[in-house]
Amino acid sequence: MLTPPIEPMLAAPLGSRIPVGPDISFEPKWDGFRCLVFVDAGGKVVLQGRGRSKRHDEIVDLAYAFPEVVDAVRERVPGGTVLDGEIVIQHDGRLDFGVLSSRLRPRSEAEGTNIARLADEYPATLLAFDVLWSGRDLTSEPFSVRRAALEALGSSWQEPILLTPNTTDRDVAESWFVGFESAGVDGLIVKPLDEAYQPGKRAQGKVKHLRSADVVVAGWRAYTKPGPDGEPIVGSLLLGLYDEEGQLHYVGGASAFTGRRRQELVALLAPLTCPDDHPHPWRGTTGVRIPGTANRWRKEQPWVALRPELVAEVEYDQMEGDRFRHGVTFARWRPDRGPATCGFDQLEVPPTADIAGLLAP
């Protein structure tokens, strides 16, 4: 039987247009924790997450954080099975990555009351979309064969373990892509039906929404490494949007810059630096999202305040509440736009949907 670690097969970006062609299938791209599930003959369950332990380069086993998933896998999935899937949490009719993240606790809490309480309050679901071993090694088989083997594990597919929907019908895939974005569907995964499972390779495709917005650049955060002269350089631009009451909310950052560009940005932004004793929309303000606040993942992060005068156009895929769900891409400066025109009202709002409509058997 296959044993951890195994690198999951990855997906290459295909833009925002759903491809057309024979011998491909589509699945929803879930907003959760990628996970390889190993069930040995003795019933031991390992939930291998992405990444490795920083100390010992060991796998990250998520089993401690999701005991309800482990129990269901041990009960329903035959020993000698390796699945590929995503752990998600359904909350208020959508997949909620924020609530999911709250399920990760210090390992010292394993089998403790906090994890048990969270499992009861916010139960997780495992969405299985591939099988690497089921009585035999399936990694060299085409996806069409692996999908059939996955569907054959029919007794396993009830909460909290579900089978990911799959279709070869582009119109159905488009209905998922458009209709369930508000419910937490992150895009589409495009799978060639004749492809073998290729660990660590981008042998699949992913389609995601691509949108643009004009935002206020109201601060910056330093890069992890200083510039050649030892001085801080720009790591990310801190972006804001105005609400209907005229309050500027922090909505995320843009950070994909070359080393030279990071240095150039320091010089560009320096005249706009807002001293500590000057007013700023993110200082001494209540009721708005601001950058740099501490949470259980990190300490408070310092940042440099800028007068909110610069406007930039950025590209993004989706919003999560009142912020960008992922990092955004800087497109260009917009000297023709005034900061006051950069409001939430410019953002596209996807149709409301309930994730249960996609996950129902």
Query: Tens of pLDDT along 306-332?
Result: 999 999 999 999 888 889 988 899 999
Q: What pLDDT score was predicted for residue 307?
A: 96
Does 56 score more than 60 pLDDT? no
Q: Which residues contact 30 (CB under 8 A, 6 or more apart)?
A: 86, 88, 95, 127, 164, 184, 185, 186
Q: Which residues contact 149 (CB under 8 A, 6 or more apart)?
A: 131, 134, 138, 141
Q: What pLDDT score was predicted for residue 98?
A: 86
Residue 361: band (very low, low, confident or very high) from pLDDT cuts 50, 70, 90: low
% residues pLDDT > 70 (the chain):
94
Does 93 score more than 50 pLDDT? yes
Q: Are the CB atoms for 220 and 302 separated by under 8 Å?
A: no
Spatial separation of the C-alpha atoms in residues 15 and 18, rounded to whole Å: 8
Q: Catalytic one among 29, 54, 191, 225?
A: 29
The residue whose two tokens read 């804001």 is 240
Q: What pLDDT score was predicted for residue 259?
A: 92
Spatial separation of the C-alpha atoms in residues 16 and 41, rounded to whole Å: 42
Asked if 299 is an active-site residue, the reply is no
Q: What pLDDT score was predicted for residue 297?
A: 47
Spatial separation of the C-alpha atoms in residues 1 and 134, rounded to whole Å: 9
214-240: pLDDT as tens digits: 999 999 999 999 999 999 999 999 999
Q: How many Å from the N-terminal Cα to the C-terminal Cα in the chain?
A: 30
Q: What pLDDT score was predicted for residue 236?
A: 96
CA 45 from centroid of its chain's CA atoms: 24
The residue whose two tokens read 């035959």 is 78
268-302: pLDDT as tens digits: 999 999 998 899 999 987 889 999 765 554 566 89
Q: Mean pLDDT of all residues in the chain? A: 91
| Higher-pLDDT residue of 113, 195 | 195
CB atoms within 10 A of CB 149: 18
Q: What's the rounded mean pLDDT across residues 332-358? A: 92
Spatial separation of the C-alpha atoms in residues 5 and 48, rounded to whole Å: 7
Nearest Cα neighbor of 246 from 278, 287, 277 is 287
Q: What's the rounded mean pLDDT across residues 173-191? A: 94
Tokens of 35: 């996970």
Tokens of 273: 């630096």
Q: What's the rounded mean pLDDT across residues 12-19? A: 94
Query: Which residues share a beta bridge with 124?
Result: 89
Query: Which residues share a beta bridge with 82?
Result: 38, 133
Q: Are the CB atoms for 308 and 189 separated by under 8 Å?
A: no
Query: Which residues share a beta bridge with 317?
Result: none
Q: What's the rounded mean pLDDT across residues 156-172? A: 93
Full set of structural domains in the chain with CATH: 11-30+165-209 (3.30.1490.70), 31-163 (3.30.470.30), 211-346 (2.40.50.140)
Spatial separation of the C-alpha atoms in residues 130 and 1, rounded to whole Å: 16
Residue 263: band (very low, low, confident or very high) from pLDDT cuts 50, 70, 90: very high
Query: 233-236 — which CB contacts under 8 Å span 24+ positions?
Result: 233/259, 233/262, 233/263, 233/265, 233/266, 234/262, 234/263, 234/265, 234/266, 234/269, 235/262
Which amino acid is it at 14? Answer: L
Reported pTM: 0.83
